[in-house]
Structure 1
Amino acid sequence: MAANTTSDHCREQAERCEADAAASDLTEVRDRNLRSAAAWHAMASRQQKSEEARAEKDRLAEAVRQRCLA
């Protein structure tokens, strides 16, 4: 995953794949797009957890900095 990939980006990709699947008349293409959508949803979930952990780490670091400067 690229360094600038966000959970929102992953969700957008999943939605695009789902729309492509819904628009497809070919079973193989529809199935491929649904598999891709599932993979994008999984990446979004993992990325969301990483973003939340990073935000918590930043909050804790800021609290420590404030205590040290007080």
Structure 2
Amino acid sequence: MTLTSIVASSIVPFDPTIAIAAVASTMLVVFVAVMTFLAIAPLVSSTWTEQLDASQAGSASLETNEAD
């Protein structure tokens, strides 16, 4: 037996479908965890409410200025 055949026979049979499902499941869990954190964080801490408030992000306002 050659080294290559010994190494090849010692590797557990691998199914790419299982690997893709595992990666997709892991990414789904991470996504749900992040969304849950962003939903719950403002309820727990007032500083998160200020940081996540989109209206204070400094974006351009659609309201007209009185000086215009």
Higher Cα Rg: structure 1 or 2? 2
Comparing both chains, which one has the higher relative contact order based on Cα–Cα distances under 8 Å and sequence gaps of 6 or more? Answer: 1
Q: TM-score under structure 1 normalisation?
A: 0.43
Q: TM-score under structure 2 normalisation?
A: 0.44
More helix by share: 1
